[in-house]
Amino acid sequence: MQLCNQNLALLPQQVLRPHYDRSQVTPSIVHLGIGAFHRAHQALMTDDVLASGDLRWGIVGAGLMTSSTKDALAPQDGLYCLVERSSKAETLRVVGSVVELLGGEGDLGVVLERMAAPNTRIVSLTVTEKGYYLDVSSGELLLDAPMVAADLANPTRPRTILGLIVQALGQRRSAGVPPFTVMSCDNLPNNGKTARAAILAFARQIDAELAAWIEAQVRFPCTMVDRITPATTDADRAHVNTQLGMQDAWPIVTEGFVQWVIEDDFTMGRPDWTLGGAVFSNEIEAWEAMKLRCLNGAHSTLAYFGQLTGRETVADAMQMPLITDLLDNLWAEVLQVLKAPSGVDPAVYVDQLKERFRNPALKHRTLQIAMDGSQKLPQRLLATLRERQTRGLASPALATAVAAWMHFVVKAAHTPGGTLNDPLSAELLVKARIGLQANEIVRSLLSISKIFGPDLAQDAGFVGELLAQFSALAAEPKVATADCIIY
Ligand code: CS2
């Protein structure tokens, strides 16, 4: 038996489920990038809005690169089970807010149609850092990235979020339909402003008038989303299927903690997401900085250290004093220069983080977080580092975290068949194979200005610290680095 509308009534009593009439829900949000993160926060809080009786906010969930989510959820009428898991208990809830699924190249025409449709009011995004095609260090649009170049050459058949959004907005403008709001939910500083900059830069290449219209008319609220949501495992699927007494092809397992802070700036209205616990605020930059630097900065550090010490999950890595001591120093460096949102004590947030990272019920793999390091390091670690430098403060813990990432890259480069899951993998592997001298390798990786900008490689204090920490890590018995390197 499969999870679907018809079988909802057969779920065990303790499983929460939609009680509203799903056939009456109007689709008005098109979400690009329907992965686990979206399904654990925005879709959930939208389900709370629908449950309140406001049926105007159904979600059309689209995968751009793959149809995997559609393949799993379309036969289930878009329903899926969300498991909230702490160390002591779990709750299961079937979420009903996703009313249509689209996915893969073959559906991109329909995705565009849905975005251009007058009843669409919001286009939201979780496409990860690399989905914006920006040079993370300079913020410039990567015009020569093959996908961007292809969309510029063929703007009526777009495949990137940039091409899709600009094309859909152009169609709405021609048809006299008001523009939707573009709401980024990705882990980027000022994610709304970042999305806006990328979309305007793309639009200017195609049509200056349309670009000016977008600049004047479209809203790009910034948001901060915080919920640790590991990739679903086969064991999770098996467990959920037993609990439900029916098959769910793609349940999501997440933590109890959830936070969503949104700037209230929408062109065509928005759901009352406060019903699901979201908060509207004008201080998103501070919220996002706190989260990126405290949570994600520590996460990336845990990921690379975890990989170098053979710790498969974040919770395992949190058992090692070598790692937790470093994290304490890292957080101290972060908090010393952080501008927290008003009324928020970042030290309390950090204490909560320690608990969240230790949650043994979440099997959050360090390898999953380790991916796309080139896209993550600048905002997670290097932003704090630069702020400390301008204040004349040394940053040994941040330098150690960067050194751990370098070891992770160097190890992949010197392992036969080693690969990296990163959009800059080719360049990273070449730079890491420059020679066998540690000094040379560190400088070679530092010269990638897309990650480190033009400044950090020139900063003698930072380079010295990084070289020292790179060698110190290699000498640490619990850390396994590439053994062919000369330190
Ligand atoms: C993680 C994030 O995979 C990663 O890079 O750091 O996905 C993290 O789990 C979320 O931002 C938590 O809100």
Determine what percent of the chain is predicted with pLDDT higher than 70: 100
pLDDT tens profile 110-150? 999 999 999 999 999 999 999 999 998 888 999 999 999 99
Burial of 115 (0-12, 13-18, 19+ CB in 10 A): buried
Residue 113 CA to ligand 1 center (angstroms) comes to 31
Whether 388 lines ligand 1, by a CB cut-off of 6 Å, is no
Pairing of β 27-32 and β 58-63: parallel
pLDDT at residue 451 is higher than 90: yes
**CA atoms of 409 and 221, how far apart (whole Å):** 35
List, for residues 42-97, the tens digit of each pLDDT value: 999 999 999 999 999 999 999 999 999 999 999 999 999 999 998 889 999 999 99
CB of residue 130 inside a 6 A radius of ligand 1: no
What pLDDT score does 111 carry? 98
Calculate mean pLDDT across residues 376-383.
97
Q: What is the pLDDT of residue 76?
A: 98
Asked whether 112 and 170 are in contact (CB, 8 A), the reply is no
The rounded distance, in Å, linking the Cα atoms of 166 and 233 is 36
Give yes or no for residue 227 CB within 6 A of ligand 1: yes
Contacts of 100 (CB under 8 A, 6+ apart): 27, 58, 59, 60, 61, 78, 114
Residue 316: its pLDDT value, please?
98
In this prediction, residue 87 carries a pLDDT of: 82
pLDDT of residue 86: 87
Residue 97 contacts residue 58 (beta carbons within 8 Å) = yes
- Ligand 1 atom closest to the Cα of residue 364 is 9
* pTM score: 0.97
